[in-house]
A and B are shown apart, each in its own frame.
Chain A
Amino acid sequence: MNLRIELKNGIMSASLRGELDHHTAGALREEIDSTAQKVKPTLLRLDFSEVPFMDSSGIGLILGRIRLMALWGGRVAVAGLSPQLRKMAELSGIAALAALENTEKEVNAK
């Protein structure tokens, strides 16, 4: 699993790459949190376009970051969910807590 972080205008983008499970979530969490706590972005955007598989550990990762960002009033957006990942996100009800960006919309915007 690897991670690319970009910072721009108070927005922190974290692009995840690889299979996301309980084993890989730990290191990701630490990397994302150490940057987020330093920068305190207004928006954390988690990009899952290169995540071919995720179990509920991915939902745990998103929920934990929503909690962290709330400490300074920041929000979380989730992008690039494949239909399989979206199914998991919908089951979790996470859409009430984070903005789920529509993939097609993103593609059209580019």
Chain B
Amino acid sequence: MIRTVNKMELSFPSHSVNESFARGAVSAFILALDPLVTEMNDLKTAVSEAVTNAIVHGYRDTIGTVYISAKILADDRVIVKIRDRGCGIPDIEKAMEPLYTTGGEERAGLGFAVMQSFCDRVRVASAPGRGTTVTLTKQFTRRNDGE
């Protein structure tokens, strides 16, 4: 079991204006790792995708609460959970197919593909009517050789 160095939790209403707040908050949290800009941008992008999914799909016709928890592990891995209590995903495999979207013409259907490509691991747990939890894991490059 690898030690947790730091952790945080936040929640906010699913207004789309909070998409930038959410990814900004996670970026600020991981700054303590002194991350490479590209790695930080990758995680920031993946968080933006997951939060947008919660807002656009989870809480499609309503405003609900989006929950984020994040932790930094001693081996410089970052784990971010994005959770909603929205409508859930009936078929996760289908939802994760690139280009599949139920979001209409202006959505590219790339959310999960981006998360998978920009993180090391993406786990999705969902139950119709109960909500969805997306867990993103990303290994950051170790820059401090102390410890």
Contact = CB atoms under 8 A, between A and B. Distances in A.
30 contacts: A21-B20, A21-B52, A22-B16, A22-B56, A23-B16, A23-B19, A29-B106, A53-B23, A53-B41, A53-B45, A53-B48, A55-B48, A55-B49, A55-B52, A55-B114, A56-B107, A56-B108, A57-B52, A57-B106, A57-B108, A59-B108, A60-B108, A61-B106, A84-B41, A88-B45, A88-B114, A91-B110, A91-B117, A92-B108, A92-B110
Interface residues of A, number: 21
Interface residues of B, number: 23
A91 to B, nearest CB: 6
A64 interface: yes
Contacts of B49: 55-56
Nearest to A83: B38
Contacts of A83: 38
A5 B107 CA distance: 23
A101 interface: no
Nearest to B117: A91
B44 interface: yes
A58 B117 CA distance: 17
A82 to B, nearest CB: 9
B26 interface: no
Given A64-B105, A91-B117, A56 B111 contact: yes
B127 interface: no
Interface in B1-47: 16-17, 19-20, 23, 38, 41, 44-45
A67 interface: yes
Contacts of A29: 106
Contacts of B111: 56
B67 to A, nearest CB: 19
Contacts of A11: none
